[in-house]
Chains A and B, each alone.
Chain A
Amino acid sequence: MNTLSSIQALGAGLPTPLANKAEPQASTVSIPAAELRELNATTSAGSCGGASETSFSNLLGNLVEGVNAKQAAASQALAGLQSGQNVPLHQTMIAVEEANLSFQLMVEVRNRLLESYQELMRMQV
């Protein structure tokens, strides 16, 4: 999975500008969702106190690892089906669909990340 690890590396390089961007955004919009507050707390802790273990890059890394695991499960199910092991067809299809959906989720997250990065790069100083 070379493509996945390259995206993971991309995410690892990004957290500082993103954390700076996320803080004013969250304060102005003030969405009361617990998840947003949690994310905001972890990103600000990551930017202040160095490498915290729940930083945004870790969250992203977990996402990529989860997607990778789903892809591996799907290919294992496919291999089992093709080699005549007793894997039902519907389980294989469900595993493939799950892998597909989680990959699309990861691509969407990557698109948002790149977009905010490019927006920052276009910013006038």
Chain B
Amino acid sequence: MIDLIPSLPSTTAALDAESTRLQIISQNIANANTTHNVDGRPYQRQQVVFESVLQHAQGKDGSSTTLAVPQVSRIEKDTRPGTAAYQPGHPDADANGMVQFPNVNIYEEMADMIVASRTYDANVAAFKNGRSIAMQALSIGKHG
């Protein structure tokens, strides 16, 4: 079936990638105070890395156009050290009463979240624009 909405593959892929990013940022914020992860250590901040893959679209006359489509290539752990706080009564405190907290900086996460959310908005706007172009093209045939 023909492509009615222009640039649909890249917009869909970008929406997928940005929603994964938002998910990871939410996970970071949710675990900002997790001192005991599944491996017994404090939670480590995660970040998504995007890459663009080339997608070939075959034209009707045999020509092929190449679209650069974004996708999440990997989700990496941030290796920066976390903060430590003196809480001797804490179950995860070491011999000196220090508790290691995750390396999640809530301000950084909020800034990242705003960027990811605005990028998602921009892609939704691009999709809406493509849809309205298609609607305009369809209205060529309408009378009155």
A, B from the same assembly: yes
Instruction: Please state if A97 and B2 are interface contacts (CB–CB under 8 Å).
Output: no
A56 to B123, CA, bound (A): 38
Closest to A88 in B: B19
> What's the minimum C-beta distance from B135 to chain A, rounded to whole angstroms?
7
- Contact in complex: A108, B138 (CB < 8 Å): yes
Q: Is the CB of A102 within 8 A of B4?
A: yes
Question: Which of B8-16, B38-46, B91-99, B101-109 lies at the interface with chain A?
Answer: B8-16
How close is B70's CB to chain A, nearest CB, in angstroms? 14
Q: Does A122 contact B (CB under 8 A)?
A: no
Question: In the complex, what residue of chain A is closest to B134 when comparing beta carbons?
Answer: A101
Complexed CA–CA distance, A104 and B134 (Å): 10
Number of B positions contacting A (CB below 8 A): 18
Judge if A111 is at the interface, Cβ distance under 8 Å.
Answer: yes
Question: Which residues of A lie under 8 Å from residue B131 when comparing CB positions?
Answer: 97, 101
Q: Does B80 contact A (CB under 8 A)?
A: no
In the bound complex, what is the Cα–Cα distance between A88 and B142 (angstroms)? 34
- Determine if B85 is an interface residue (Cβ-Cβ < 8 Å): no
Contact A101 B135 (CB under 8 A): yes
Q: Are A105 and B138 in contact (CB under 8 A)?
A: yes
CA distance A104 to B132 in the complex (A): 13
Q: Does A69 lie within 8 Å of B16, measured CB to CB?
A: no
Residues in chain B near residue A98, CB distance under 8 A? 4-5, 8
Which residue of chain A has the shortest Cβ distance to B15 in the bound complex? A90
Point out the residues of chain A lying under 8 angstroms from B15, CB to CB: 88, 90-91, 94
Measured between beta carbons, the chain B residues less than 8 angstroms from A111 are 141
Bitwise, B1-28 to A at CB < 8 A (1) or not (0) is 1101100100010011001000000000
User: What's the Cα separation between A111 and B8 when bound, in Å?
Assistant: 27
A66 CB contacts on chain B under 8 angstroms: 1-2
Q: Which residues of A contact B (CB under 8 A)?
A: 34, 66-67, 69-70, 88, 90-91, 94, 97-98, 101-102, 104-105, 108, 111-112
The chain B residues found within 8 Å of chain A, CB to CB, are: 1-2, 4-5, 8, 12, 15-16, 19, 61, 124, 127, 131, 134-135, 138, 141-142
